[in-house]
Structure 1
Amino acid sequence: MPNRSQSSEPGVAVNARPANPIETAITALAELSGARLDWLHAEWSGAGKAATVVSGVDLRAQDIVAGDLFAALPGARSHGAQFAGDALASGAAAILTDDEGLALLRASNPSVDRPVMVLVHPKPRDVLGEISAEIYSRPSEKMQVIGITGTSGKTTTSYLLEAALVGAGRNPGLVGTIETRIHGRRVPSALTTPEAPHLHALFAVMAEQGIDTVVMEVSSHALSLGRVDGIRFDIGAFTNLSQDHLDFHRNFEEYFAAKARLFDPASTVHAESSVICVDDVWGRRMAEVASAGDVTTVATTEAVSDWKVGSVEVAADGSQLFDLSGPNEQSWPVSLRLPGRYNVANAALALTVSAKAGIDVQSAVAAVGSVDVPGRVQRIDRGQDFLAVVDYAHKPAALEAVIATLRNQVSGRVGVVVGAGGDRDAGKRALMGEAGARGSDLLIVTDDNPRTEVPATIRAAVMAGALAVPESERGVVLEVGDRAEAIEQAVRWAQPGDVVLVAGKGHETGQEIDGVKHPFDDREVLGDAIDRIAIDTAHGGTK
């Protein structure tokens, strides 16, 4: 049996595969997907079709292991069929592609010493999820799967929900932006939602290892590109919607429609039941989309809902206490370490989903009270006399919300360090600058992840939005391209009672510049700057 997993460190599976894969006949996959069966070389047409079986699937030629189905999909820059030679050399048993891919395969005439069957489908990506689910024995049907979508709050809600499940004695797995976890073992996440072959393989590993509930973030990209096709979602949860990903979606309506696939009973990936936060108009619209099925609503506002947040008390350290009422006039006092009204909404959603999942609410309430989320309003405490915070806010609404939260927590001024990512929605850059300038006493515009774009061009767009705010409505605005230098300048500016917010990258441990990811962790850089400046000051230097 080939090794079905790859590992970067002991106990952690990367592109995990089940230890005991089963074989699936290629004819069964053809019948399931509606694809036609063909041969890589016409002279093999007399070979027996039923003899071809596969035991795994991947769309990256370099990750193929013996017995896999290689998904050779058309792409924006190249066709996956161009890499079929490498996949076959690694032992691919069959190929999934389209007619263009088959033509490329035959034209390249890869050297192979065995008959290779090809599944040909006009839109192979559309059937890849179902095919992957079948190859891995439909693992999502063996666990309770909870999908969380929305613009902001997915990660925080998933962490809170995971804690509630653990507190109730469940054995949950987590799939999200920060990490994927199986039995507490961490698997780094490159995408909010992995591609379908990797996701179904991961689910198969989880099922093998006794995971009974999966909490996963579901992005609009994943819903649009079929990455979650073939998954049976027991519960779908919706947080909110604000501007993001309009580099991928043509407009806001298309963005909403992508998210709605998880809730629309007519969709092939819709959840069997839904829990929707109706604080904003998009949540109320989503509740209407889901209304033909089993839907529960929750709100922190005056919106009509099944579950509702009452009074909220905020402590000096930002922790919060609020009342959550559910059906039958039941009510629970909820303690939350995380600051911000938006985190009250996240916690209320997590608790409502917990109840939907069959968890005792009191048990869930007790569990969420001790949760901290990496890179989400994360305090950096080196004994300094001002508040230092790192947050993942990389959307205008999220940045505005976290600035407002921190301003309510401190008696002094607010300093913000922020930029915008390259190769992403350019329309939100000026909005990021505007949100940062309006809410702060000092805004330092810096580089985020420029990726393949010219950093100065990105900064110019953010600066334009910031400087468009009238001087009477904003503080000082500076441009410092080097992110570490920008953070240091903000720390030197801070006085007792102030707050320094470093926003945009949160938990990330790298900065991507010109296609190269360099080590960079805002939390470490901010902490080091505080320590260094404290030493300088102690030796008679100036802040």
Structure 2
Amino acid sequence: MATLACAGGPVEVTGVAYDSRRVVRGDLFVAMRGGSSDGNRYIEAAVAHGALAVMTDSREAYEKVRQEHPEIAAALVEHGRRALAEASSAVMGHPQRKLALSAATGTNGKTTTAFLLEEMLRSAGRTCVLIGTIETHVAGEVRESPHTTPESRDVLEIFAEGVTAGATEAVMEMSSHALEQERVWGLPVEVGIFTNLTQDHLDYHGTMENYFAAKTRLFEGVGAPPPRVAVVNVDDAFGARLAASIDRSQMLRYGVVGSGEFRAEDVRMRAGETRFRMMTPVGAVEMRSSLTGHVNVYNLLAASAAAWARGMSLEQIAAGAASGAQVPGRFEVVPSKNGVTVVVDYAHTDDALRNLISLARELEKESSGRVITLFGCGGDRDRTKRPKMGRAAGEGSDLVVLTSDNPRSEEPMAIIAEALAGVKETETECLVEPDRAKAIGIAIRAARSGDIVLLAGKGHEKVQVLKGATVPFDDVAVAAGVLKEIG
């Protein structure tokens, strides 16, 4: 409960809502304009559901509430999302102040890095909250995540539940959309992590420079001071640019080929295991993880540097890395008895596809098999990356199967045609099947013992978004069914 000063006098509210359908009696309703909708259209519905007060970023809506609902406290604010964050914090008792928050941003690696960091912290006896693309964890309880970074009110509610359960640490992914839209307003970040930046989300940001600027907001502070420590991948060109703008005393750099404070040497890997010697400001430690591939060496370095910034010893960090479980939809191997390795991965950019195929090539050397890559491109998203993804798949694979991946409002074959143009720039054979379930069957049935089949793009997702419908769909379950059918 909190007392808010509004026109008409102070009012005590017991909750905050920004969705009129979730309003209960006693709530403050924050009506704000967004990119695709305007919450001010739903003020009447919120009042009907029992809202005691309204905050709005529209003078017209404010005057209307004052005139038509004099019994409702009203406040006019300049920034709706900032008001949502500040009001939610006040009503919920400022839970963000009771947690040490580590936040990861970047194109690829955010999810795995966040999972690894949480596992390291938990293995050292710390109770954590995790908010990310795949799952939300509250003191060990696992929930589905509807968004990579929710609205501030929902983040703060999760934080409050974590504090009640005894959590002292929080780890979250911060997407570029959330940073630019200020969904993370007022969250004090202890450790900020930058993984990398490659082309993605240009349908929203327009240019790579705008995309980069959105990511860098984490390190400037969004309604809060900058992070106490910045953990930055200096092997990445954009990471190197970011590092040049941050005081060295507030930064830990990491990399494999660069000269960061956290570096990997003597990297050895095989299917289901990666080992390397990690060099740090306080000595070296041997690292072992069940995660595979050079991309996960970077993720392990990022999580390790963040864990060290949170006061963990190198021994605790190494133990936490060794205990880490498989991250859903990130190089997730589907059990098979016929000698074919089937992998489900979230790779949905050309850079991520190259990394995935490169890892498959490294593992395939032992079996002398082929790499078969299935992928699609999302509809209503950046069209310029489609031929790039096609070229990346064709350049690294022995066979490409081109299919659908959440076509949304677009025609699947129109999307496929744009990706196919990139595959055709290579000499790799490409089979086209817009039905993703049938395409998975084609890819797996085309494989021989020793081959690796990569099912890229959807990873942990459990639905397929089509024009006018969202249907259940799980790459892992479909692949398992095909493998069982063919024995």
Taking a change above 3 Å as real, the CA distance of residues 431 and 205 of structure 1, as seen in their structure-2 partners, is same
Distance 1:203 1:278 in 2: 31
The reply on whether 1:382 has 2:326 as its aligned counterpart is: no
Structure 2 length normalisation: TM-score? 0.95
Give the alignment partner of residue 188 of structure 1, picking from 144, 153, 158.
144
Distance 1:126 1:465 in 2: 43
Distance 1:426 1:206 in 2: 40
- Bigger drift between 427-436 and 392-401 goes to 427-436
The reply on whether 1:424 has 2:381 as its aligned counterpart is: yes
Aligned to 2:274: 320
Give the alignment partner of residue 347 of structure 1, picking from 297, 300, 323.
300
- Contact 1:171/1:212 (8 A) holds in 2: yes
Q: Which amino acid in 2 is paired with 1:233?
A: V
Equivalent residue of 2:126, what SS?
A: coil
Distance 1:269 1:441 in 2: 50
Distance 2:60 2:265 in 1: 58
Unaligned ranges ≥5, structure 1: 1-22, 28-36, 39-46, 535-543
Unaligned ranges ≥5, structure 2: none
Distance 1:77 1:502 in 2: 32
Report how far residue 466 of structure 1 moved: 1.3
Aligned to 1:58: 17
The reply on whether 1:463 has 2:420 as its aligned counterpart is: yes
Report how far residue 197 of structure 1 moved: 1.1
Equivalent residue of 1:262, what SS?
A: helix
Distance 1:153 1:82 in 2: 38
Aligned to 2:349: 395
User: What's the CA shift string for 1:402-429, capped at 9, x where partnerless?
Assistant: 1010011012111011001112112211
User: What's the CA shift string for 1:424-453, capped at 9, x where partnerless?
Assistant: 112211111111111111111100001122
Q: Which amino acid in 2 is paired with 1:24?
A: A
Report how far residue 382 of structure 1 moved: 2.6
Aligned to 1:210: 166
- Contact 2:402/2:432 (8 A) holds in 1: yes
Distance 2:12 2:391 in 1: 57
Taking a change above 3 Å as real, the CA distance of residues 63 and 453 of structure 1, as seen in their structure-2 partners, is same
Equivalent residue of 1:140, what SS?
A: helix
The reply on whether 1:300 has 2:259 as its aligned counterpart is: no
Matches within 5 A, 1:445-524: 445-467=402-424, 469-471=425-427, 475-524=428-477
The reply on whether 1:369 has 2:318 as its aligned counterpart is: no
Aligned to 1:258: 214
Equivalent residue of 1:248, what SS?
A: helix
Point out the structure with max Rg over C-alpha.
Answer: 1
Aligned to 1:24: 2
Give the alignment partner of residue 88 of structure 2, picking from 132, 136, 144.
132
- Kindly, what percent of the aligned residue pairs are identical? 37
Equivalent residue of 1:229, what SS?
A: coil
Distance 1:169 1:486 in 2: 45
- Contact 1:437/1:443 (8 A) holds in 2: yes
User: What's the CA shift string for 1:47-90, capped at 9, x where partnerless?
Assistant: 5x02x122221211111122221111123444212111221122
The reply on whether 1:95 has 2:51 as its aligned counterpart is: no
Report how far residue 366 of structure 1 moved: 1.3
Distance 2:248 2:63 in 1: 45
Aligned to 1:310: 265
User: What's the CA shift string for 1:119-174, capped at 9, x where partnerless?
Assistant: 11233224332332222222111011110111100111111111111110101111
- Bigger drift between 67-76 and 287-296 goes to 287-296
Distance 1:229 1:200 in 2: 11
Taking a change above 3 Å as real, the CA distance of residues 221 and 505 of structure 1, as seen in their structure-2 partners, is same
User: What's the CA shift string for 1:97-131, capped at 9, x where partnerless?
Assistant: 1234516845995xx6x711111123322433233
Aligned to 2:105: 149
- Contact 1:68/1:91 (8 A) holds in 2: yes
The reply on whether 1:245 has 2:223 as its aligned counterpart is: no
User: What's the CA shift string for 1:374-416, capped at 9, x where partnerless?
Assistant: 1100001131211110000011101110101001101211101
User: What's the CA shift string for 1:451-488, capped at 9, x where partnerless?
Assistant: 12222221111111211x232xxx21121000000000
Equivalent residue of 2:480, what SS?
A: helix
Taking a change above 3 Å as real, the CA distance of residues 266 and 125 of structure 1, as seen in their structure-2 partners, is closer
Report how far residue 278 of structure 1 moved: 1.1
Taking a change above 3 Å as real, the CA distance of residues 399 and 530 of structure 1, as seen in their structure-2 partners, is same
- Contact 1:168/1:360 (8 A) holds in 2: no
Distance 1:26 1:134 in 2: 9
Distance 2:145 2:33 in 1: 24
Structure 1 length normalisation: TM-score? 0.86
- Contact 1:318/1:340 (8 A) holds in 2: no
Q: Which amino acid in 2 is paired with 1:64?
A: V
Taking a change above 3 Å as real, the CA distance of residues 520 and 105 of structure 1, as seen in their structure-2 partners, is farther
Aligned to 2:313: 360
For the aligned residue pairs, the C-alpha RMSD in angstroms reads: 1.8
Equivalent residue of 1:408, what SS?
A: helix
Report how far residue 295 of structure 1 moved: 1.1
Taking a change above 3 Å as real, the CA distance of residues 78 and 165 of structure 1, as seen in their structure-2 partners, is closer
Distance 2:383 2:361 in 1: 28
Taking a change above 3 Å as real, the CA distance of residues 103 and 338 of structure 1, as seen in their structure-2 partners, is same
- Contact 1:145/1:233 (8 A) holds in 2: yes
- Contact 2:30/2:83 (8 A) holds in 1: no
Distance 2:64 2:373 in 1: 53
- Contact 1:196/1:229 (8 A) holds in 2: yes
